[in-house]
């Protein structure tokens, strides 16, 4: 049986985290929620829903993901696939089986859930998110011949391939770093269209001016850094 682990970075997702955990399919071996400085009942609700909860006090999406990976690395039995999903309930956790299918059926290395406009709930992505995704993926096509259309957070990757990427970004550049390294290392990838709905609570990135600007700078920084290599 394929061993699939899920890593969920979470900051003040007390109203949504249990829904995310509970709706993840039974095909998953372990759900790991990385609490990244929550001041609400995120931890309690995640534990009640059946997740393993870790603590990462250094603030940053990448820090949380790296914490989850470090936890998995220390386990004697390593997984076959790692899935990342946000804890805000904007994705549809039950679509996880669809996300991992290309890996299981066609031996693809990496799958990203693409939030197609036709499948998105109105208002689920802010104008700055839409613009940022379009700009980033356009530049990735221009510089690297990429076929990505989204930097969606709902993604799956073979565990050994994830390790080979040697991920390092600590904050908002995590998703684009992963995709750029996939391209650089010529790993196989595919996008799978996924539904997307309005998140529960306020986004820590697109919901604030500071978060939006910082995320944009980080994403563009990674793209230009790799375009010069």
3-class DSSP assignment, residue 193:
strand
Q: Distance between CA 188 and CA 103 in Å, rounded?
A: 10
Q: Which of 58-62, 87-91, 160-164, 207-211 has the lowest mean pLDDT?
A: 207-211
- pLDDT (average), residues 162-182: 95
Beta-carbon contacts of 210 under 8 Å, excluding residues fewer than 6 positions away, are none
Q: Distance between CA 36 and CA 91 in Å, rounded?
A: 19
Q: Distance between CA 109 and CA 157 in Å, rounded?
A: 6
Q: Distance between CA 158 and CA 113 in Å, rounded?
A: 15
Beta-carbon contacts of 226 under 8 Å, excluding residues fewer than 6 positions away, are 143, 144, 180, 184
pTM of the model: 0.92
- pLDDT (average), residues 32-38: 97
The pLDDT-based confidence of 39 (bands split at 50, 70, 90) is very high
Q: Distance between CA 80 and CA 97 in Å, rounded?
A: 14
Task: Look at residue 226 and tell me whether its pLDDT is greater than 90.
Answer: no
| Percentage above 70 pLDDT, the chain | 93
Distances (CA, A) of 56 to 4, 6, 23, 72, 184: 22, 16, 24, 14, 29
How high does pLDDT run on average in the chain?
A: 92
Task: Look at residue 214 and tell me whether its pLDDT is greater than 90.
Answer: no
The pLDDT-based confidence of 206 (bands split at 50, 70, 90) is very low
User: Which of these, 73, 75, 54, 51, lies nearest to 63 by C-alpha position?
Assistant: 54
Q: 104-157: per-residue pLDDT in tens?
A: 999 999 999 999 999 999 999 988 888 888 989 999 999 999 999 999 999 999
pLDDT given at position 61: 95
**The two three-digit tokens of residue 137, written as one number:** 């993926």
Q: Which of 10-14, 79-83, 170-174 has the lowest mean pLDDT?
A: 170-174
pLDDT given at position 207: 47
Q: 40-49: per-residue pLDDT in tens?
A: 999 999 999 9
pLDDT given at position 142: 92
Alpha helices per DSSP H over the chain = 17-22, 42-48, 61-73, 96-106, 127-144, 159-165, 174-184, 209-227
């Amino acid at each position: 049986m394929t061993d699939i682990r899920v890593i969920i970075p979470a900051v003040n997702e007390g109203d949504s985290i249990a829904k995310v955990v509970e709706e993840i399919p039974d095909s998953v071996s372990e759900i790991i929620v990385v609490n990244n400085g929550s001041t609400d009942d995120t931890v309690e609700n995640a534990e009640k829903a059946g997740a393993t909860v870790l603590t990462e006090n250094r603030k940053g999406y990448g820090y949380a993901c790296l914490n989850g990976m470090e936890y998995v690395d220390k386990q004697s039995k390593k997984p076959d696939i790692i899935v990342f999903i946000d804890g805000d309930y904007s994705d549809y956790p039950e679509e996880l089986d669809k996300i991992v299918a290309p890996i299981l059926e066609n031996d693809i290395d990496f799958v990203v859930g693409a939030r197609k406009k036709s499948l998105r709930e109105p208002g689920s992505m802010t104008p700055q998110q839409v613009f940022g995704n379009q700009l980033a993926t356009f530049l990735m096509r221009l510089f690297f011949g990429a076929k990505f259309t989204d930097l969606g957070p709902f993604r799956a990757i073979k565990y050994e391939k994830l390790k080979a990427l040697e991920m390092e970004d600590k904050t908002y550049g995590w998703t684009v770093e992963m995709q750029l390294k996939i391209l650089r290392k010529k790993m196989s990838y595919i996008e799978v269209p996924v539904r997307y709905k309005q998140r529960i609570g306020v986004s820590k990135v697109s919901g604030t001016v500071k978060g939006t600007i910082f995320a944009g700078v980080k994403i563009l920084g990674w793209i230009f850094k790799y375009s010069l290599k």
